[in-house]
Chain A
Amino acid sequence: MDAAAALTRAAPRSPRRFHAGRWVLPVYTALVVAYLFLPIVVMIAFGFNDLRGRFNFTWQGFTLEHYATVFTSQPRMNAALLNSFIVAVVSTVAATTLGTLIGLALTRYEFRGRGPLNLLIFLPIATPEIVLGASLLAMFVSAGVERGLPTIIIAHIMFNISYVVVTVRARLAGFNRAYEEAAMDLGADEWTTFRKVTFPLIAPGILAAGLLAFALSIDDFVITQFTAGPDQTFPLWVYGASRIGVPPQVNVMGTLIFGVALLGVAGWILLQRRQASLLATPGVGP
């Protein structure tokens, strides 16, 4: 086929149709995000509910008083929140580190025992949380280990490692070693290569894995319920409170957490924009 015909065929069809088609996906994405956020909106709304009784189920009126009392009226909620945060941060850091190391080993090196290792990593994911939790409890009790924050962290690291490995490997699988070889050809030693070539390239995958681990940890209920002992994390506390009626301070706290996350995102956007514009400015940058 001659060049002109080939170009015509490959060209987009009528501009109008193309234009409409462009919007389908973004609109769809917006709808899905709205769907994801719908319960959040409800949660925020009920933080303003002016309750007469104790149950926060029907709308009765607008008030800001719960925002005033959020930090004082439920001290156990605050303690539970702090616990959740500590557990999430520690277990995320640990699991991401351990899991990335395993992911690196699996995708880049030859070694014996690959099969059993894959099985070992895969099994925690294949196991329902209730089984993981119950079996850990059985072990802790047999070994005489007292349940509390440390056991929760242990459990969270355990299940997070597998998720990190799976996520990171999806990213590492197609990694092109040529970049590393090029760097080493240019005189960099292994550690420098890792630092300046490998790590930046796999960083997004690690970040995604870390986010996943954090989300899993901070929201975990089932495994935590079995390994917590007397300590409580936020989901445990809310579950207990919800049996009777979620106090509005929970909604307020949820809203605040959400707001902080939102601010974090906004701040990061701004930071990225600044960096981008800095790099675009001639004369500035590396």
Chain B
Amino acid sequence: MSAWLRQRRWLVPYLFLLPGGLWLLIFFLVPMLTMASVSLQEGTLGTGFRMTFNVGVFPEVLARWDTQFLRSIQYGLIVTLLTILIGYPMAYTIAFRGGRYKSILLLLVIMPFFTSFIIRTISWKFILADQGFVLGTAKEIGLLPEAFRVLGTPTAVIAGITYNFLPFVVLPLYVALEKIDHRLIEAANDLYASRVQSFLRVTLPLSLPGLFAGSLLAFIPAVGDYINAELLSGTPDTVMIGNVVQALYLQNNDYPQASAISLILMAGLIVGVIAYTRVLRGQELTA
């Protein structure tokens, strides 16, 4: 068997790619095309949808929901920053100081996510309640004004999204940090670099693939999230574009508009990420 394969060496990568690639083709690409088609249609659930090549839907949608688009991007950026700020030292500690506890610590990071995030979010609602044991106590001892609240504000939504995506940042960061050859750092130290310097000039750049992956894994789902906004805040000033899509899709059954928004969101994200990739030149995605 190996002889046959060795003769057709060029086949090997394609064989590796085939199953996964085909799966993505059928279950990702085709639905996307379906959705693109739907966005250009018009109609209602009752009377049916007809393809009218209604390209006007895109500027319409952008004009109507511009606030929500921008807000989602804004929240996404903040969440990404926060997850990296919180997650990097964490990943660093596990990778460099973990020793034989590395895997345990990693599992500790993931384990809270073995319970449903609905339960976790409801628990956060309880913890962050206006008069709950955190805020209520603070108010009683005068640390916070009586009218202060977290729930129903952008803070709650951002905090919720950050909490939900923290492990997805810690893991890739850990993976990248863990495989850094420590001798490189030792060499830097030998060459008179202080700890800070060797971190900034050796460790940090080498962990860039992890940073790249982690930031994407945080930013993109954060922008499209709607559950946190829904559960932790009911106010219109925290409505994200995901909430709009959900409302249009499930409440209004306005498939064309919802599909158009989805396409714009996707396109925007892709453009943004390609630009991001160019900036971090030489990293994985365009290798």
Contact surface of A with B, Cβ cutoff 8 Å: 6, 9-10, 25-26, 28-29, 32-33, 35-40, 42-43, 46, 57, 97-99, 101-102, 104-111, 114-115, 117-118, 120-132, 134-136, 138-139, 142, 154-155, 157-158, 161-163, 165-167, 169-171, 173-174, 189-191, 204-205, 208, 211-212, 215, 218-219, 221-222, 234-235, 238-239, 242, 246, 250-251, 254, 257-258, 261-262, 265, 268-269, 272, 276
Contact = CB atoms under 8 A, between A and B. Distances in A.
A222 B89 CA distance: 30
A11 B77 CA distance: 40
Nearest to B124: A39
Contact of B269 (A40, A126, A155): A126
Contact of B21 (A120, A129, A174): A120
- Pick the most buried of B93, B123, B262: most chain A CB atoms within 10 A of its CB: B123
Contact of A126 (B23, B103, B118, B273): B273
B78 interface: no
A170 B213 contact: yes
Interface of A is mostly: helix
Interface residues of B, number: 98
B284 A173 contact: yes
A158 B27 contact: yes
A169 B209 CA distance: 9
Contacts of B226: 130, 222
Contacts of B109: 33, 36
Contact of B112 (A9, A40, A98): A40
A26 B17 CA distance: 41
Contact of B127 (A38, A102, A136, A265): A38
B265 A118 contact: no
A207 B132 CA distance: 39
A32 B100 contact: no
B115 to A, nearest CB: 4
A122 B285 contact: yes
B18 to A, nearest CB: 9
Contact of A101 (B20, B97, B216): B20
B107 interface: yes
Interface string B204-247: 00000110010011001101111100000000000000100110
A174 B220 CA distance: 26
B119 A43 contact: yes
B150 interface: no
Interface stretch (B32-40, B52-60, B140-148): B32-40
A120 B24 CA distance: 7
A170 B175 contact: yes
Given A39-B124, A134-B249, A251-B119, A25 B189 contact: no
Nearest to B134: A38
Contacts of A120: 21, 24-25, 28-29
Contacts of A167: 171-172, 175, 213
Nearest to A258: B115
- The 5 A-B pairs at the shortest CB distance, nearest first, are namely A128-B224, A135-B31, A39-B123, A98-B20, A109-B13
